[in-house]
Each structure stands twice: as C-alpha cells, then as structure tokens.
C-alpha cells in the first residue's frame, strides 16, 4: 500500500480527553484521517468489533492495524510519522514524559474527579489534595512554553486534553476554582499557550456543552 493509499481512521467521542489527544497528534503531524464519532454510552457494532476487550474509545485503525489506549496510540503515531516529533529524543526525558502522563491519567484524574465528587473526606480536603498534585505539574512547566519545551509534545497532549479541557470544566460546573492564577501562574500561562496552537484549538470540546456533561456525570457518581 503506497503512502497515498494509506487509510487512517479514528473512533472517538467529542468529550473524551483520550480520543481528543489522539486527534491533536494527527493534526500536528498533518496526517489525513477519517473521524468516526461514537454516540456513548451507545456503542456501535464497529467499536465492539475493533475493541472487544475494553469497548472504549479511542481506537486508531491504520491500514489493517488496530491500536488501542491513547498513550500507545500517541507513541505509534510519533514513530510512524516522523515529522513534528511528539516524544523527547533523550531517553531520560522520554521516560519522564511517560511517568508524568501516567501520573495525570491515574492520580490527578482519580483525585480531581471521582475523589472530589464523592468527597468522602470532605470537599476542602479533596481540593487541597488535588492542588498538591497539580503543584508537581506547575514545577514541571516552570520557565517553559510547553512541557515539551518550545513546542507542544506528548505530555502537553495528555495534560491538555485531561486538565483544562476536561477536569477544569467539571470544577467550573461545581463551583471550584481549582487552578487560580495566583497559585498556579505557570499552569495558567501554559494553558494560554496551548489554546494558541492550531492543532489543539480544533480539539477543544465546546465549553458549555462539556460543563453540562461533566456536571451530570458528577451527579451520577455522587448519588451512586
């Protein structure tokens, strides 16, 4: 199959940080792709066929190859299309980018979403614990335009899709200013930089629609 005949399809969901970050990477690399929107929680037969294990988005189909899990998909995209590198070339920096990406998708997502909504130890405690975690990212991006340095990279896509364009919408919806400018000047500066990147702008979910959706999910978790 020649390069011109290459087929790239992405199964995603408009509000999913996991599929939005894959879109960011494809746009940054200039890879033409067909986007197939899933109507979650109603899962299409195609999604169930391509991802019978997790039944989740994103799913990337490159020619006859099926890829799951956003971190792995981003690495695959970076190694397949070499222009505009996403991951650092230095082995240590690459390992650290993976470390912080895991930290965001596991610890910050758990603390800043489920633990905060459940608020079993009280809302103020949950807010403080989430801010403590965010302080590590504040230090990581200090003095840099992006986590990736001068240009957007792997960690920017993970952090951007998850924090300002997903969790922050929940925080706003339930009346919490989690990342105030005076406490997190570097993260706020980074968010502004991120919003100016064309590949990112096209992947930011509509604000009001996202706030409404995240608030509804929070209510469901709280009452469970």
Residue 4: what pLDDT?
54
Residue 119: what pLDDT?
85
Same fold, 8-80 and 91-223: no
Instruction: Give the predicted TM-score (pTM) of the model.
Output: 0.95
Question: Could you tell me which residues come within 8 angstroms of residue 180 by beta carbon, excluding any fewer than 6 positions away?
Answer: none
Where are the extended beta strands (E) located within the chain?
8-12, 34-37, 59-62, 65-68
What is the pairing mode between strands 8-12 and 59-62?
antiparallel
Q: In which residue are the tokens 């998850």 written?
A: 162
Residue 2: what pLDDT?
45
b/e burial code for range 206-219 (CB count within 10 A of at least 16 → b) = eeeebbebbbebbe
Q: What's the CATH number of domain 91-223, 2.40.30.40, 3.40.309.10, 1.20.1050.10, 3.20.20.70?
A: 1.20.1050.10
Residue 122: what pLDDT?
87
CB atoms within 10 A of CB 78: 19
| CATH architecture of the domain covering 8-80 | 3-Layer(aba) Sandwich (3.40)
Could you tell me the residue ranges of all domains in the chain?
A: 8-80, 91-223
Q: In which residue are the tokens 């991951």 written?
A: 87
Q: Are 16 and 191 in contact (CB under 8 A)?
A: no
| Average pLDDT per block of 10 residues along the chain, 224 residues long | 74 98 98 96 95 96 97 98 96 97 97 90 92 98 96 98 98 96 98 97 97 94 85
Q: Are 156 and 98 in contact (CB under 8 A)?
A: no
In eight-state DSSP terms, residue 142 is T
Short-list 59, 85, 56, CA closest to 73 = 59
């Amino acid at each position: 199959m020649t390069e011109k005949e290459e087929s790239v399809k992405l199964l995603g969901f408009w509000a999913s940080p996991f599929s939005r970050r894959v879109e960011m990477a494809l746009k940054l690399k200039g890879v033409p792709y067909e986007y197939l929107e899933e109507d979650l929680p109603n899962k299409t037969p195609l999604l169930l066929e391509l991802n019978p294990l997790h039944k989740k988005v994103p799913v990337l189909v490159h020619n006859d190859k099926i890829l799951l899990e956003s971190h792995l998909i981003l690495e695959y995209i970076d190694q397949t299309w070499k222009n505009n590198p996403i991951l650092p070339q230095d082995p240590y920096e690459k390992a650290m980018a993976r470390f912080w990406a895991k930290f965001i998708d596991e610890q910050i997502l758990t603390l800043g979403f489920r633990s905060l909504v459940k608020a079993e130890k009280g809302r103020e405690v949950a807010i403080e614990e989430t801010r403590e975690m965010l302080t590590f990212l504040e230090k990581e991006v200090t003095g840099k335009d992006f986590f990736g340095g001068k240009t957007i990279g792997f960690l920017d896509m993970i952090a951007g899709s998850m924090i300002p364009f997903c969790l922050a919408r929940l925080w706003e919806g339930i009346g919490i200013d989690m990342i105030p400018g005076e406490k997190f000047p570097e993260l706020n500066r980074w968010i502004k930089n991120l919003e100016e990147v064309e590949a990112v702008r096209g992947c930011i979910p509509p604000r009001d629609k996202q706030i409404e959706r995240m608030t509804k999910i929070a209510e469901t978790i709280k009452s469970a």
